[in-house]
């Protein structure tokens, strides 16, 4: 029997890749995307146009925070799985326009939780971020590690989403997995992200801004590796433990709710200088570096412990940065004729 997934943010970078994978696996996919102008809408329109060429995909153009929209969609579709990706993204933009994060990330997620309470799917998977770890420097980050010192308002809204989802899972017995992703990159990526900006600048012989004078490390995760992890987690449905003692050691399963947090990362903290070198190798050009101080809200390093993902699904992301960057540069050159 064909299963149905509802994907919020379906025309986004990750949403597009996830929908493509689900459709290839035989799912019926219903998307929703507001097509906001946070970045070039033409990228979203192109992604959505490609998805609409595939039988089994349909989409709605609306904001998830609009009253009744998600309620009506779940009522009509009764999906087997809900994957919530729609959000106002970006650490730095949250300093300039925090209200958009309240609307999309807080109110939008509240609307989603109310909709799945009314029409519960078998499993709901909601996107969080490595940014929730904030000032925590105890790496690699495990799901059970302290995450109470967020450094940006974006991160604060995503940590709030985790708490909101836990309360709904507990109160209404809703199986929910929060997946924290780590610096996702790849073809069809967002223009506000470092790989896109660096590639564009290098190919146009323009300098790149390198923050914290290059002393940065990230757990770069290739987008299809992230998608593979999400898809495998769909059937790893958390249950409510009979007692707190039933939670396995190292598992982030809640002791009181069918709720779990799972990291999806490459389990490797790569120096920013190595990332730039991979772009230089892929483009065949050298970057002119403009070294700058750390930006407000940013963190110097991230590093995922992905052992829980592996124990739940048998899978661990593993695309090397050099390979993933080369694929992005190839896509960028083809798409922009660069």
Q: Which residues are catalytic?
A: 154
Query: Under a CB-based contact definition with an 8 Å cutoff, are residues 219 and 269 in contact?
Result: yes
Q: 16-29: buried (b, 16+ CB within 10 Å) or exposed (e) per residue?
A: bbbbbbbbeeebbb
Query: Under a CB-based contact definition with an 8 Å cutoff, are residues 131 and 151 in contact?
Result: yes
Smallest CA-to-CA distance from 307 within 266, 271, 270, 269 is with 266
Q: 90-109: buried (b, 16+ CB within 10 Å) or exposed (e) per residue?
A: bbebbeeebebbbebbbbbb
- In whole angstroms, give the CA distance from residue 114 to residue 47: 29
Following DSSP, what letter does each residue of 169-204 receive, concatenated?
HHHHT--EEEEEE-SEE-TT--TTSHHHHHHHHHHT
Query: Under a CB-based contact definition with an 8 Å cutoff, are residues 115 and 70 in contact?
Result: yes
Smallest CA-to-CA distance from 85 within 156, 31, 8 is with 8
Q: Which two tokens stand for residue 41?
A: 């809408």
Place of tokens 């689900």: 22
């Amino acid at each position: 029997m064909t299963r149905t997934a509802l994907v919020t943010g379906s025309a986004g970078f990750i949403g597009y890749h996830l929908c493509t994978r689900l459709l290839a696996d035989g799912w019926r996919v219903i998307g929703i995307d507001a097509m906001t102008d946070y970045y070039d809408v033409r990228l979203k329109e192109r992604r959505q146009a490609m998805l609409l060429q595939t039988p089994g995909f349909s989409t709605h153009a609306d904001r998830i925070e609009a009253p009744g929209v998600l309620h009506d969609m779940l009522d009509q579709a009764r999906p087997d799985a809900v994957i919530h990706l729609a959000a106002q993204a970006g650490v730095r933009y949250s300093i300039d326009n925090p209200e958009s994060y309240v609307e999309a990330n807080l109110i939008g997620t509240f609307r989603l939780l109310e909709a799945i309470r009314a029409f519960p799917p078998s499993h709901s998977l909601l996107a969080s971020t490595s940014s929730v770890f904030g000032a925590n420097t105890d790496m690699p980050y495990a799901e059970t590690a302290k995450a109470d010192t967020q450094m940006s308002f974006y991160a604060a809204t995503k940590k709030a989403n985790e708490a909101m989802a836990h309360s709904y899972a507990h109160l209404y017995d809703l199986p929910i997995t929060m997946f924290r992703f780590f610096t996702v990159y790849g073809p069809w990526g967002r223009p506000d992200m470092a790989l896109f900006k660096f590639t564009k600048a290098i190919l146009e012989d323009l300098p790149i801004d390198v923050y914290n004078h290059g002393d940065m490390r990230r757990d770069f995760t290739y987008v299809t590796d992230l998608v593979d992890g999400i898809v495998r987690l769909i059937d790893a449905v958390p249950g409510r433990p009979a007692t707190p003692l039933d939670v396995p050691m190292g598992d982030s399963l809640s002791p009181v709710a069918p709720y779990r947090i799972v990291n999806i990362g490459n389990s490797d903290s790569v120096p920013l200088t190595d990332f730039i070198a991979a772009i230089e190798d892929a483009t065949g050009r050298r970057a002119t570096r403009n070294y700058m101080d750390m930006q407000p809200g940013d963190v110097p390093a991230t590093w995922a412990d992905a052992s829980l993902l592996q124990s739940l699904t048998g899978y661990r992301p593993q695309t090397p940065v050099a390979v993933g960057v080369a694929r992005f540069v190839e896509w960028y050159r083809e798409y922009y004729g660069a």
